A = this chain, B = another copy of it.
């Protein structure tokens, strides 16, 4: 079997597995995203082994979550985000500090060396906003106060995470320097500020810019170019690609073609996102966890990860009332692919061993699986009796009238 045939079969099988998981969980009234991840566990190396973790399937997963955050950005307006800026900052900072301190203390108490402690702590810090924002989107709660705080906090969270990661790799390589960390911070903040302020200014001045080129019969391809460009750039300076995609969506959302673009991005994202959820599931390594010691370690670290992130974010958001703070704290819990990436980096630098790696990956997936089931209830309690279909100022992501208003 040649290589491209193999990859086509893998993409086919993960799509079938994720959608079968979706189907079953939908019928059971459970969150479909959990069904899609479990579909990936079953089709992946852990059980059936039809779906492999390789460069191509990772790329499809990455583009899936990039598109997801681009969509979220399209539905988010900058001024709404700035309005919740102080709370988001508090949630982001406390939601990073507590897991870091918890992870560091736990590793030191267990007698690990400094670089293991720092890597474990780093893997516990960074939130993956893909899962939560997907569920909030399905619930129509992205444009609530809590939804905006979660998105803002996720951006701040990621800036802090790259600083911690730079400390961790510096310590592991024995070349730690505070100036490196500060210059990273400067570059990250500059990138975000320039993209957001410069981008929205350009778009506001020329709102038809996406369909101005002759090739742009619709705004889709200019939108995809901005998305890929900013995702690559964010990734290049050490931020997560999804942060670049989120900023791209927010900037491009200022365009007059925003609704047409949302309608066109919807099927592209619908095609790609199952590969993201399935890929997360495919990274489970059941064999490595098949002993009591590893399982206890997994449960302990997961409990620490959930509790420390929840408490940190909850305290940061308390000014919004306990119900909103609970939703925000819970929404920040998933570590998802970010935790897996950090663990992988720790493995490659030799700071953590393969047993701990499997445990950290398991933690990242478990924190992602526990969140969706409780979110609908927390959204109802925090944001009142609003109809989940009607949003404040975002259109539903369907195909809309003004879609015919595209120009050549």
**Which residues in A have some Cβ–Cβ distance to B below 8 Å?**
1-5, 7-9, 11-12, 15-16, 19, 22-23, 26-27, 32, 55-56, 58-59, 62, 66, 213-215, 218, 220-221, 224-225, 228-229, 231-232, 235-236, 241, 263-265, 267-268, 270-271, 274, 399, 403-404
Residues in B whose Cβ lies below 8 Å from that of A214: 23, 26-27
Q: Which of A12, A26, A218, A270 has the most CB of B within 10 A?
A: A12
Copies in the complex: 2
Residues in chain B near residue A403, CB distance under 8 A: 399
Picked from B9, B270, B274, the residue with its CB within 8 Å of the CB of A232 is B9
Residue from A2, A229, A267, A274 having most chain B Cβ neighbours under 10 A: A267
Complex CA distance for A257 and B166, rounded to whole angstroms: 51
Nearest-Cβ distance from residue A274 to partner chain B, whole angstroms: 7
A32–B232 Cα gap in the complex (Å)?
A: 27
* A355 CB → nearest B CB, Å: 24
Complexed CA–CA distance, A267 and B12 (Å): 20
Decide: B404 and A235 in contact? CB cutoff 8 A. Answer: no
A15–B264 CA distance with the chains assembled, in angstroms: 17
Return chain B residues, CB-CB under 8 Å to A274. 221
Within 8 Å CB of A9, what residues of B? 232, 236
Closest B residue to A15 by beta carbon equals B225
The 6 closest A-B pairs by CB, nearest first: A8-B232, A12-B228, A5-B235, A264-B267, A22-B215, A9-B232
10 new A-B contacts at CB < 8 Å, known A4-B59, A218-B267, A267-B268: A4-B241, A5-B232, A8-B66, A8-B235, A9-B232, A12-B225, A15-B221, A15-B228, A55-B55, A268-B268
Task: For the complex formed, measure the closest distance between the CB of A199 and the CB atoms of chain B, giving whole angstroms.
Answer: 16
Which residue of chain B has the shortest Cβ distance to A4 in the bound complex?
Answer: B62
CA gap between A225 and B270 in the complex, in Å: 12
Closest to A270 in B: B220
| Chain B residues with CB under 8 A of A236 | 1, 5, 9
Shortest Cβ distance from A272 into B: residue = B268
* Contact call A59/B15, Cβ cutoff below 8 A: no
> Is B8's CB under 8 angstroms from A271's CB?
no
Contact sample, A vs B, 14 pairs, CB 8 Å cutoff: A2-B235, A4-B58, A4-B235, A8-B62, A12-B225, A22-B215, A23-B214, A23-B215, A26-B214, A55-B56, A59-B59, A218-B267, A264-B267, A399-B403
